[in-house]
Structure 1
């Protein structure tokens, strides 16, 4: 069968209005058929056929019936088109074979006439798919970009909303403008460029283009740009153990050069980056700035955060796996930067035959590309499309959140979203828009009913416009949009050295994000519930003992290990701690509420410095798994500020310390922690 048909005659090109007028002149005005056919340029036999049909039925069609073999009506094909578009926007697009299989299922479940080959192969034909794509030019066969499940589902309305809440609170608190809002991010460039397309002989199977070497060396470029369109001098990390000034030959003016064996940014080098930011922006507590960046571990070193705190730098980290949407540099700067760099590297290879690109030429190549990519228009556009500045929390439409709707869960007879968010332990449970919001998204209603059109049946035949296909019959086995299965929720405690916060505020106030307040509120509520339960237990015991005919006898032998008097003497008692009872170098017991739970957990900590009741700097220890009541310092120092309300007991001085190289880091307390969950 010919897929591209070329018309060879003019048959069937007479407009329906002209054909109807010619037929009426013959039937109603009595003009001869040959004369009318000659005057109007219509075939005599064709006019004769329409005249006969008109005499039998005056409502007959005046155009050729080219759709007698069409399987789906125009309405049905539009529904199928909407389904394919929505599935693609959800990153679950259908291949050509899957689309053919979907068309066969749709036709069979709706009892539509189809060719016999469809039924034999259980698949729609290739010719149908070709014609379907021609009839719907808004569809095309594309090569999608591989996107991880974490990235597609992490970008949801709840997570992005929390980020904008943090950003808005910091903007209102610091009262900064676009000139004091910055974005920081790294990107890698190698000494081997990506070759461009070149003109070559047609029909040649293999076309080559010269590159510097087989495998290149990585140079990290750290860009810092402001929402006003200003680009600070970048920072370049070279893959060397020791830095040399010759590395920056030809680099952009003011560029800072660093060296690391891997060529990547690390926590030690990021201190120099933070110092570079402070020096170039003149930031201070009186003239603060806001920096948005991803939460890579190299950005969260204690030294860099302390430097940011001392110089009025407020750091807001982007939600994980969302930088492809919320990072201004990724959106509008680094794409052009890599394209311009490849062009410059290719031009260098053409101008210098036989020479390779090393790290000593990277400075001049990056300089030419950076000046073209980091333009004010590109930078301002990056902040605008991410909604950071001008501040716009509604910059992302419903279609951009469609990939995260795969993990949505239906909520029948559920409380409102506001009540759910305010419930204890539920702040992190709703990570995606509700099912009702997803169904109200543009294109979502038509896309969900594509295969069997069940919702059209519920609306009634009179409410649904049909083409010449008539009504449809439906089944309950619908082909729905992709939906993830329910996953088991695993309760996990606080990881060692893990920071769960998204806003790393470095101002004087420790609780600007509200994270610590919400946890403290949960802890107070949990303590009240525990107190109520303890108060009810004696009453329940008395009532139960009075109802039983025989008393319950307890074993009171002296050898019974149930209880010990020494345990009572050394048992720790929880309660409010006075501010005067604590001092630096003393050990305390700090209370936490586990994430997504109301269970209480306790950590032993050593007080380092005391500011006020809301600024007590402590160093947390970890409980040993082998020795009872022994605690050790973690490999990575875990220092954080706590409130006085979180401290529940002051521990006595350690009674023993290790003296050998294996045990000298251990600290032992002569107290009985009882059933407390000490970690």
Structure 2
């Protein structure tokens, strides 16, 4: 390599097969066309304060040690004591293109919130419990009602619409969530499947520095509390420290800018489209495979919902037609696409 000073060895980032197949120019172009139409429909092109992105990330006591300064003559890598893996704690993070961020919303594993779990929380932090520590449809609806809506209503006029960009996880597209969002003028916009690594603002510019800040906070805790390990009672304080350091105005603005949302610029993501997808299979087959997989998963979930809650059948139909079985705006009643095949039991 010394003979070629202009080149260097680079370790490529790992990319799953599903992400490689879906990171295609046709998918991205369609996404930006729908996004542009939505921004124009609700007059949000120049309103970064009304464009939000929400996403979840998991944390536990096991952390990655930060780098340390060492002598070049050391033959062995230095070691750092870490804590054992603990139960998962989920953070629901949200911010807008103007740089405003919501306080943390933390989900702990368990049945009842212990007051000791709240130690070190930032002002406005909310807490919920679940059997797994992950979010679910009920918790996300609670988040929308008790955390997102009050924050948004303080920053908009009553008749103004808010755009909420999120991935297509089933907890985000339940009938109750869609009904609530429609009632409160919240426009939910679903990202294309398996494209959050370059289209979702929080994934692109926030969660990486947040994880780094969390690892640094954990390392400081281990250094300042010799002989102790991090437990679930320390997670809130550490996550809130990382949240405060990562969810800054500049980071949020740059994340929405890097994903081409505000200012609206589809070209900025072209460099992130996976060129190796052409080596996997043809573009047409890739799109069909990704769409079929997404449609099958969504159809199965909506079918189960309609069976368990017959009164929600019409609402479920409108959800499916609102996102056209793929991605875009979930608008509820008024969608015209037929969806009888979802409920066909013959």
Q: TM-score normalized by structure 2?
A: 0.82
Given the superposition, is the C-alpha separation of residues 258 and 399 from structure 1 closer, same or farther in structure 2, using an over 3 Å criterion? closer
Equivalent pair of 1:284/1:313 in contact (CA under 8 Å) = no
- Counterpart position of 2:317: none
Asked if the contact 1:236/1:256 (under 8 Å) is kept, the reply is yes
**Deviations, residues 104-131 of structure 1 (Å, cap 9, x unaligned):** xxxxxxxxxxxxxxxxxxxxxxxxxxxx
* Greater radius of gyration (CA): 1
Higher relative contact order (CA 8 A, sep 6+): 2
For the Cα contact (< 8 Å) 2:192–2:326, is it kept in 1? no
Q: Matches of 1:390 and 1:246 in 2, distance apart? A: 43
> Structure 2, unaligned stretches of length 5 or more?
303-319
Q: How far off its partner does 1:195 sit? A: 1.1
State the distance in 2 between where 1:621 and 1:223 align: 35
Q: Could you tell me how far 1:490 is from its partner in structure 2? A: 8.8
Aligned equivalent of 1:221: 91
Change (3 A) 1:300 1:220: same
- Structure number with higher helix proportion: 2
Distance in 2 (alpha carbons) for counterparts of 1:333 and 1:390: 18
Instruction: Give the superposition deviation at 1:151.
Output: 0.6
Which residue number in structure 2 is paired with residue 397 of structure 1? 270
Which residue is equivalent to 2:309? Answer: none
Q: How far apart, CA to CA, are the structure 2 residues paired with 1:144 and 1:385? A: 20
CA deviation profile, 1:208-247 (whole Å, cap 9, x unmatched)? 211122x222211111100001111121111112223432
Counting only pairs closer than 5 Å after superposition, residues 544-555 of structure 1 correspond to structure 2 as none
User: In the superposition, relative to structure 1, how do residues 134 and 355 fare at CA in structure 2: closer, same or farther (>3 Å)?
Assistant: closer
Are 2:190 and 2:330, in contact at CA under 8 Å, matched by a contact in 1? no
CA distance in 1, matches of 2:293, 2:138: 33
In structure 1, the residue matched to 2:301 is: 497
- The count of aligned residue pairs is 316
Q: Say if 2:247 is the partner of 1:374.
A: yes
Are the structure 2 counterparts of residues 352 and 172 from structure 1 closer, same or farther at C-alpha, using a change threshold of 3 Å? same
**Residue equivalent to 2:310:** none
In the alignment, which residue of structure 2 is the partner of 1:309? 182
CA distance in 1, matches of 2:69, 2:179: 55
Instruction: Spell out the pairing of 1:335-350 with structure 2 (5 A cutoff).
Output: 335-350=208-223
Deviation at 1:399, TM superposition (A): 6.7
Quote the Cα distance in structure 1 between the aligned partners of 2:229 and 2:12: 34
For residue 250 of structure 1, the aligned residue among 120, 145, 168 is 120
Task: Say whether 1:262 aligns with 2:132.
Answer: yes
Number of the residue aligned with 1:151: 19
Q: In 2, Cα distance between the equivalents of 1:267 and 1:284?
A: 28
**Alpha-carbon spacing, 1:496–1:408, altered in 2? closer, same or farther (3 Å):** closer
SS of 2:138's equivalent?
Answer: helix
Q: Indicate whether 1:241 and 2:111 are aligned.
A: yes
Aligned CA distance change for structure 1 residues 181 and 135 (closer, same or farther; 3 Å): same
- SS at the partner of 1:250? coil
Identify which of 32, 35, 51 aligns with 1:167. 35
Aligned positions of 1:612-651 closer than 5 A:
622-623=344-345
Structure 2: how far apart are the matches of 1:231 and 1:320?
A: 25
CA deviation after TM superposition for structure 1 residue 409, in Å: 4.7
Asked whether 1:211 is paired with 2:82, we answer yes
Instruction: Flag the 1:491–1:184 CA change in 2: closer, same or farther, 3 A.
Output: closer
After TM superposition, the structure 1 = structure 2 runs for residues 451-462 of structure 1, keeping only pairs within 5 Å, are none
Shift of 1:262: 1.2
Q: Could you report, residue by residue, the CA deviation over 1:294-323 in whole angstroms, capped at 9, with x for unpaired residues?
A: 111221222122111111110011111110
Structure 2 counterpart of 1:650? none
Separation in 2 of the partners of 1:263 and 1:305? 24
Task: Describe the SS at the equivalent of 1:397.
Answer: helix
Give 1:349 shift.
Answer: 1.1
- Report the CA distance shift for 1:241/1:399 in structure 2 as closer, same or farther (over 3 A): closer
Task: Return the match for 1:183 from 45, 53, 59.
Answer: 53
The two structures, once aligned, show a CA RMSD in angstroms of 2.9
Contact 2:92/2:105 (<8 A) preserved: yes
Q: 1:152 to 1:218 in 2, by over 3 A?
A: same
Q: In the TM superposition, what are the counterparts of 1:405-420 in structure 2 within 5 Å? A: 405-407=278-280, 409=282
| Change in CA separation of 1:490 and 1:224 when aligned onto 2, cut-off 3 Å | closer
**5+ residue gaps in structure 1?**
1-132, 411-427, 433-486, 520-590, 593-601, 604-619, 624-678
Aligned-partner Cα distance in 2 for 1:210–1:398: 39
Q: Sort the Cα spacing of 1:134 and 1:328 in 2 relative to 1 into closer, same or farther, 3 A.
A: same
Write the distance in 2 (CA, Å) between the matches of 1:359 and 1:490.
Answer: 40
Deviations 1:156-202 (A, max 9, x none): 11111111122111111111211000000111111122112334574
2:334 is the counterpart of 1:510? yes
Q: Contact 2:25 / 2:273 at 8 angstroms: preserved in 1?
A: no
Deviation at 1:285, TM superposition (A): 6.8
